[in-house]
Amino acid sequence: MNAAFHLVLIFVVHGAFSVQGPLRPIIIQAEKDLAAGKYDKAAESFSSVIESARSDPNARTELGNALNDLADIYREWRRLTDAQVLLEEALAISEQTANNKLQIAVLNNLGLVLQLRGRFAEAEKAFQRSLLQTTNEFGRESLTYAQILDNIGQLRTDEGKLNQAEAQFREALRIRRKRASPNGPEIADSLNSIAGLYILRGQYAKAEPLCRQALAAMERSLGPHHLRTAAILASLGVLYKEQHRFDEAESLLRRALEIRQTALPAEHPANARMVLYVGDTLRGAGKYEEAASTLRQAVDLSRMAFPPGDARIAEALEIYALVLEKLNKSAEAAPIQDEALRIRAYLQYKSPSSLPTIKP
């Protein structure tokens, strides 16, 4: 699997669920801020709701919803441990209050967090529990059911089970075509998911029209500066990079990077990967000086975003070293290559089948 494309597939905001109770107006405004990518403002509001609701025994529903939504922000910020703690508290509240709708949302979001932490078996259990609850509460033709199917498809992609992933994505798309607005973001998400699989398989001619449809729909629905729009821009940019359409790729990837840098913390993994994509695109175009500067930044961001010894750090080091070689800076490239080799050797020892590769 092309690991560089992986974040494009999974970097999607996975929906807001309904809110009830006396703090409803604050929560609804916070969720609007969240949907608009105003994460700092939304997090402040949700934290305020949590503080108020903790002191009110009659505000358990509001507390559960705010915990769930703040956890969604923490997930996007990759504060995964903090997100999981909040979700486990919200899950307990949903069970104590028999709030099935909240439980569906929390189990879904807990699955996303566990998936990002690499705990796939636990993520599967959370998604399946959420899916079962959704079947009972909304039915198998609901948009909520389709959303969870799409999330399970992303999990299958993580596991390298692309045929199973495609089946999940296509069923989600079938439901969304039936239930969602033709101008809404849901159909665009499904098209982008399927396009991502085609890109992973190297089926670029099939992927491009889906990406273009998804981008047009998302821009109509959420606007040109939304994080979900950035996900599709990145998909199309990676597609063009793989096709050696470097100028088009660079333009799209820079747009996606600008959106993500505005909405996300500097050390967010998505920013590290986007800077790497831009640098690798510049390398492909033969713009080696600019590529070297960009890839140096990608290495630095990767060190902040990922744990020591992560394959994504090795990938950034390898591409940076290739550019330094092109610039006849072999002395600078050698220690960088050595570090990448040490990471690869360690990962090969740990898991022989899990290593991504790059194209020189």
- Residue 38 inside a domain? The answer is no
C-alpha span between 291 and 269 (Å, rounded): 19
- Residue 348 inside a domain? The answer is yes
- Residue 341 inside a domain? The answer is yes
DSSP-derived secondary structure letter, 266? T
Q: What pLDDT is stored for residue 108 in this prediction? A: 95
Q: What pLDDT is stored for residue 351 in this prediction? A: 58
- Residue 351 inside a domain? The answer is yes
- Residue 270 inside a domain? The answer is yes
Residue 189, pLDDT above cutoff 60 = yes
Q: Which two tokens stand for residue 254?
A: 């820079």
Which has the closest alpha carbon to 110: 95, 94, 125? 125
Predicted confidence (pLDDT) per residue in 224-269, tens digit: 999 899 999 999 999 999 999 999 999 999 999 999 999 888 888 8
- Residue 328 inside a domain? The answer is yes
Q: How many CB atoms lie within 10 A of CB 216?
A: 13
Residue 357, pLDDT above cutoff 50 = no
Residue 323, pLDDT above cutoff 60 = yes
Q: What pLDDT is stored for residue 22 in this prediction? A: 65
Q: Which two tokens stand for residue 220?
A: 């109509």
Do residues 160 and 138 make contact, with C-beta atoms less than 8 angstroms apart? no
- Residue 332 inside a domain? The answer is yes
Spell out the residues 6+ positions from residue 207 whose beta carbon is closer than 8 angstroms to its own.
195, 196, 198, 199, 235, 239
Where b means 16+ CB within 10 Å and e means fewer, 263-293 reads bbbebbbbbbbbbbbbbbbbbbbebbeebbe
Q: Is the pTM of this model over 0.85?
A: no
Predicted confidence (pLDDT) per residue in 71-82, tens digit: 988 998 888 999
Residue 356, pLDDT above cutoff 50 = no
Predicted confidence (pLDDT) per residue in 16-71, tens digit: 344 556 677 888 888 888 777 678 888 999 999 999 999 988 888 889 989 998 99
C-alpha span between 154 and 76 (Å, rounded): 16
pLDDT band at 95 (very low <50, low <70, confident <90, very high): very high
- Rounded to a whole number of angstroms, the CA Rg of the chain reads 21
336 is in which domain, residue-wise? 266-360
Predicted confidence (pLDDT) per residue in 266-285, tens digit: 888 899 999 999 999 999 99
- Residue 276 inside a domain? The answer is yes
Residue 358, pLDDT above cutoff 60 = no
* Tokens 């039936």 found at: 178
Domain count, the chain: 1
Rounded average pLDDT over 188-195? 94
C-alpha span between 120 and 145 (Å, rounded): 20
Predicted confidence (pLDDT) per residue in 147-179, tens digit: 999 999 999 999 999 999 999 999 999 999 999
Residue 314 maps to which CATH number? 1.25.40.10
